[in-house]
Amino acid sequence: QNSELFTLTYGALVSQLLKDYENVDDVNKQLERMGYNIGIRLIEDFLARTSSGRCYDFRDTADKIQMGFRLFLGVTPSITNWSPAGDEFSLHFETNPLTEFVELPDHCLNLKYANVLTGVIRGACEMVQMEVTSWFVQDQLKGDNVTELRIKFIKRLEDAIPAGED
Amino acid sequence: MVIYGVYIVSKSGGLIFNHDHNLTKIETEKTFSFPLDIQLQCENKKVVVAFGQRDGIMVGHVLTAVNGIPVTGQQLDDGRDVFDVLKTQELFPLNLKFERPKMTTNEKIFLASMFYPLFAIASQLSPEPRSSGIEVLEADTFKLHCFQTLTGVKFIVVVEPNQGGMDVLLKRIYELYADYALKNPFYSLEMPIRCELFDTNLQILLEQVEKTGISSV
């Protein structure tokens, strides 16, 4: 399956945002927001296709997020670096279809190129009543060996839980 | 295998989709001579048969036409009041058309908002923790099956009583929702679903299930 059109499309999106906003921080925010809007929809597709049940443990969530990357992006990151309290973990990506062929120029060193992914994770988890936050710890586009995305559990969104699930 | 209808209720309790399948239209037409031997009365702004059930015209049926002229509420489309016409001997014999009343959209929305808290009561009544909400509601003429997703959206099908495998059908409808509603960027979450592709594919799914059974999907 040729994913180059996908990579090119994402690249066109980011470069257009840079032209529209000029400020790199604003672009990072927009990418995260777009990701959020994708995440709130994509979660239902994930649930419908995999018939997944609710996660009662963050390790469950980590496995499902990993499955999501495999299903939707065709990459399988490894789950590593669990915090002692079990509320934070990292995903290590060797490759990322979004960033193939990309080189960050000097004036965009603060650009979080793949920030859409942090939004997708936030949106998807929010729809299943979990508040999480995620950020890039390492970025291959900035010279690191791997791209490391760290995800932290904040809290369960108690009032939003559907009837019959508490 | 008869499927009567599909409903989708959003996580905030609003009806966002309804499809009536296989609802037979019951209509009877008959010519009456003076005086009218069916008791009619005004109910809910409609002219309804109160008593005098016969020949397929049942109590509760609504008067929809007099001599071919449609009736809206209590008035004929030509401006005359129905009850005045029915009292006038010279106008008889009259041809009257009656129909089984259909649920209006507002009534469906109301019922869906009623279903939402009832669904929740089921899980509260349970002696065990973490019980689900209503999964099946059974009556003598139909069975209602409900599936709630982890995100709180409820998929409901109303089918004939001895139908099995409805959880498979509900899952397939969930998949159609994830594809044709959610992946449509012009569809906003929690809003009524007005996506043609969703309607078309749902119709195909329901017809396939009715013709070849649930195991074919």
Q: What is the CATH number of the domain that holds B48?
A: 2.30.42.40
Q: How many CB atoms lie within 10 A of CB A66?
A: 17
| Longest pairwise C-alpha distance within chain A | 53
- Which among A156, A166, A128, A53 has a CA at the least distance from the CA of B129? A166
pLDDT at B186 over 70: yes
pLDDT for residue B144? 94
Which residues have a Cβ under 8 Å from the Cβ of B102 and sit 6 or more positions away? Answer: B23
Interchain CB distance below 8 Å, A162 and B150: yes
pLDDT for residue B120? 86
pLDDT at A89 over 70: yes
Interchain CB distance below 8 Å, B120 and A164: yes
Say if CB B37 and CB B26 are below 8 A apart. Answer: no
> How many angstroms separate the CA of residue B106 from the nearest CA in chain A?
24
> How many angstroms separate the CA of residue A127 from the nearest CA in chain B?
5
Picking from A45, A54, A163, the nearest residue to B123 by CB comes out as A163
Which residue segment(s) compose the domain that B119 sits in? 3-23+104-216
pLDDT at A8 over 80: yes
pLDDT for residue A161? 77
> How far apart are alpha carbons A85 and B104 in whole angstroms?
54
Token digits for B41? 């009365």
Helix A24-50 with B166-176: angle, nearest 10 deg: 160
> How many angstroms separate the CA of residue A10 from the nearest CA in chain B?
17
pLDDT for residue B87? 85
Closest residue in A to B132 (Cα) is A164
Which pTM value belongs to this model? 0.87
Contacts of B148 in chain A (CB under 8 A): 162-164
Closest residue in A to B180 (Cα) is A45
Say if CB B50 and CB B39 are below 8 A apart. Answer: yes
Per-residue pLDDT band at A88 (split at 50, 70, 90) = very high
pLDDT for residue A166? 55
Number of domains in chain B: 2
What does the mean pLDDT of chain A come to?
Answer: 92
> How many angstroms separate the CA of residue B127 from the nearest CA in chain A?
12
**In this structure, are B40 and B121 located in the same domain?**
no
Domain boundaries, chain A: 1-156
pLDDT at B103 over 90: no
pLDDT for residue B200? 96
Contacts of B149 in chain A (CB under 8 A): 44, 47-48
**In this structure, are B84 and B177 located in the same domain?**
no
Say if CB B134 and CB B119 are below 8 A apart. Answer: yes
Contacts of A53 in chain B (CB under 8 A): 150
pLDDT for residue A77? 96
> Considering the domain A1-156 in this protein, what is its CATH number?
3.30.1380.20
> How many angstroms separate the CA of residue B112 from the nearest CA in chain A?
15
Residue where a domain terminates, one of B43, B69, B99: B99
Interchain CB distance below 8 Å, A127 and B183: no
pLDDT digits (tens, 9 = 90+) for B153-185: 999 999 999 888 899 999 999 999 999 999 999
- Name the percent of chain A lying above pLDDT 90: 81
Interchain CB distance below 8 Å, B183 and A47: no
Per-residue pLDDT band at B9 (split at 50, 70, 90) = very high
Residue where a domain terminates, one of B99, B131, B153: B99
**In this structure, are B94 and B125 located in the same domain?**
no
The one-letter amino acid code at B194 reads R
pLDDT for residue B6? 95
Chain length of chain A = 166
**In this structure, are B73 and B174 located in the same domain?**
no
Say if CB B203 and CB B3 are below 8 A apart. Answer: no
Q: Which residues pair with B155 in a beta bridge?
A: B8, B147
Helix A24-50 with A116-127: angle, nearest 10 deg: 40
Interchain CB distance below 8 Å, B189 and A47: no
Q: Which residues pair with B136 in a beta bridge?
A: B145
Highest mean pLDDT among B14-28, B33-47, B113-127, B169-183: B169-183
Q: Which residues pair with A152 in a beta bridge?
A: A88, A133
- Name the percent of chain B lying above pLDDT 90: 41
Say if CB B214 and CB B169 are below 8 A apart. Answer: yes
pLDDT for residue B27? 86
pLDDT digits (tens, 9 = 90+) for A34-84: 999 999 999 999 999 999 999 989 999 999 999 999 999 999 999 999 999
pLDDT at B35 over 90: no
pLDDT digits (tens, 9 = 90+) for B110-147: 988 899 889 888 888 888 888 888 999 999 989 999 99
Interface confidence, given as ipTM, is 0.89
Interchain CB distance below 8 Å, B133 and A48: no
Q: Supply φ then ψ for residue B154, to 5 degrees.
A: -110, 130
> How far apart are alpha carbons B179 and A60 in whole angstroms?
25
pLDDT for residue A165? 66
* CATH number where B18 lies: 3.30.450.70
Residue where a domain terminates, one of B40, B74, B99: B99
> How far apart are alpha carbons A140 and A102 in whole angstroms?
10
> How far apart are alpha carbons B6 and B141 in whole angstroms?
16
- In the block, tokens 């059908």 appear at B169
